[in-house]
Chains A and B, each alone.
Chain A
Amino acid sequence: MTQENDIILQVEGLKAYYQMNYFGVNREVRAVDDITMTMRKNEVYGIAGESSSGKTSFIKVLAAAIRPPLRVVEGTVKYNFKNGPIDVTTASPEQIETVRWKHLSYIMQGSMSVLNPVRRIGRTFQDFAQRPLGLSGRAFEDRVVKHLARLNLPADVLKAYPHELSGGMRQRVTIGLATVCHPEFIIADEPTTALDVVVQKEVLSLIRDIQKEMGASVVFVTHDMSVHANVADRVGIIYAGRLVEEGPTRQMFFTPKHPYTAHLVASLPRIGDTQQRPALEGRPPNLADPPQGCRFHPRCPLAVDKCRKEVPPMIEVAPGQRSACWRWEDVKPLVNIAAPAGAMA
């Protein structure tokens, strides 16, 4: 049973929209539309979903990186940090400063964005990490160098400018920045997409190790379902701004209860594929004018009349597994993944 004090993050009824005004015309993109979820301390939560479904927008809110035109319209995002509880949707910038890096760190999508192009990497580490770590001079440098070594980066990168590093090296530098202070809660947006598979594995192990050592919690977004399969304790699937299913990783892969999840876990291409895997029909939904009822209905192979009219609620469909689908009982895994013996138990 989950204890109240085990909970590190509680998101309730979160709605965050991009509200813009172009030459007098208002436009609203409902990127996060009524998401409720909870995370326990020590947990690794993976978020998947198609491009532009609102994953980055959602974790921007979690990371307290909410900037106009993105606005939290409704709901709360409460953390229970060691230095006290905080709701990042209402906290002041000063309050957020007290948790950033040391308690809450955020690895953004597109690794360059946090690296200042005219500052050497070493200086950026000083800017971000020196104060929270409370170290200086040699001790600080030793700590950073040791940490970088775990990411397979030589000490020389500290002397380099961002443009002198390869894409994957920059990505590892940002992971280094976000983890060097051993924060309680790490948020990562596509943290390993620019890495080769050998280094990717090492970096994922590192994130897992830090998480275990420090009892940290991690929420990460990636398109790569095989990363979720091997790193996440639980996986949440976002479709058109809504969480449509979540549950323990193994259940999500082997017994998905939402047709979109079933599609996603089967869509991963494998070495040896000479033919395309079945793609989803139709176009991704427009978040400025999302479909009525279940947002997946225009593309759903199981859709019935009810789906076009009524929004399916998120309900528990198996222990720890919630799905928002009227026909969850009819969802069959589109398996191309061979479930190992005992996997369904």
Chain B
Amino acid sequence: MTTLLDVRNVSKRFTMGGIFGRKTIDAVMDASFSLSSENPEIFTIIGESGSGKTTLARMILGLEDPTEGDILFRGEKVDRHAGRAERLKFMSRVQPVFQNPFEAFNPLKEIERYLESTARRFLGTSDKAAIDKAMDDSLQKVGLSLKEVRGRFPHEMSGGQLQRCAIARALIPNPPLLIADEPVSMVDASLRMSIVNLLKSLRDDLKVSVIYITHDLATAYYISNRLIIMQRGRIVEMGDARTVLDNPEHAYSRLLKASVLSTDHAGAGKLETDPGMLDLANDSVGRAGELVARPDGRHVRVYA
């Protein structure tokens, strides 16, 4: 078995502030996992807001240096400071889709320019027809077309349309690894399913591995092979997605599942959280503990 991606004991510490005094934030602490090349999978990261999911994704993309640990892609170290040609080669293989499509696009440029520059850069061609075809092909994959997008600026699109454009852009170089940071948080349920199904077919038909970051436990359950759950910089539970979500073990994982809103009591305004569960989950914050294996194959962080 060869590994596509190997994340080894990775940590990230940010230093914030200047004149107000320095403060450090441990955004990611000792994260490890790997993806194999032979079995493309949808590997999902869920967890607290601010728990380090985006930071982890940015390190995998080589946009941020780990403070500690290594990230290897196909056996080679992901290096932000590698030469231009090497960076370009890496970037054609690991493509991002970011959290907020409104931030991902330059508001002053037509959307197709953004797709076009990606196509030009990665397909190594300046043939107009070939570029148009590549753009249209990938827009079709997300239910849009070049005809609909042509000439439009980001603010002329709705949130959902823009997010689909962002995915289309990432698909242009046919990458083996896609890192999708909350790609569906801005779209409606049907479109959400169509994007999630798109990720699924990328995995099944095109053998693309996907790191899927989300707050939506239902789609995580629906498409993921494995998942990790993060709390304040640490992985607290990891394993087969359905095993973990059917029966979460860590206190934070349980709180997460219990907090999903339902429509069963529509109109009754149910927003309370069980304080006991909250206390249990908060109890683990700031404690290192240790990830231990369980007989069903999952790993759970336990505290002495």
Contact = CB atoms under 8 A, between A and B. Distances in A.
Interface of A: 18, 20, 22, 48-52, 56, 109-113, 156, 159-160, 164-169, 172, 190, 193-202, 204-205, 208, 223-231, 248-254, 264-265, 267-274, 276-277, 279-280, 283, 337-338, 340, 343
Interface residues of B, number: 65
A160 B185 CA distance: 25
A269 B216 CA distance: 9
Interface string B1-40: 0000000000000101100100100000000000000000
Contact of A169 (B50, B216, B264): B50
B263 A226 contact: yes
Contacts of A227: 261
Contacts of A340: 264-265
9 contacts: A111-B100, A167-B54, A167-B100, A167-B182, A190-B159, A197-B259, A229-B266, A276-B193, A280-B190
Given A194-B185, A201-B259, A253 B267 contact: yes
Contacts of A52: 157-158, 160-161
Contact of A159 (B20, B187, B217, B218): B20
Nearest to A277: B193
A51 B49 contact: no
B264 A337 contact: yes
Interface stretch (B123-131, B268-276, B292-300): B268-276
Nearest to A269: B218
B86 interface: no
Interface in B174-197: 182, 185-194, 197
A320 to B, nearest CB: 12
Given A168-B50, A198-B259, A230-B261, A269 B193 contact: yes
Contacts of A228: 266
A22 B151 contact: yes
A337 to B, nearest CB: 5
B251 to A, nearest CB: 12
Contacts, number: 200
Contacts of A172: 49
Contacts of B256: 196-198
B262 A226 contact: yes
Nearest to B269: A230
Nearest to B271: A205
B263 A265 contact: yes
Nearest to A31: B158
A229 B100 contact: no
Contacts of A277: 189, 193
B261 A56 contact: no
Contact of B49 (A169, A208, A224, A254): A169
B120 interface: no
A158 to B, nearest CB: 9
Contacts of A195: 49, 215
B175 to A, nearest CB: 23
Given A113-B102, A169-B49, A231-B271, 12 more contacts: A166-B49, A172-B49, A197-B215, A198-B48, A198-B255, A253-B266, A264-B188, A264-B189, A268-B263, A271-B218, A273-B222, A340-B265
Contacts of A166: 49-50, 54
B161 to A, nearest CB: 6
Pick from B47, B185, B219, B267 the residue with the most CB of A within 10 Å: B267
The 10 lowest CB-CB distance pairs between A and B, nearest first, are A51-B160, A168-B49, A250-B267, A110-B102, A253-B266, A52-B158, A229-B266, A226-B261, A269-B218, A249-B267
Interface in B272-304: 272-273, 281
A194 B261 contact: no
A164 B16 contact: yes
Contacts of B51: 196
Contacts of B260: 197, 226, 271
A157 B271 CA distance: 26
B261 A159 contact: no
B225 to A, nearest CB: 13
Contacts of B103: 110, 112
B159 A272 contact: no
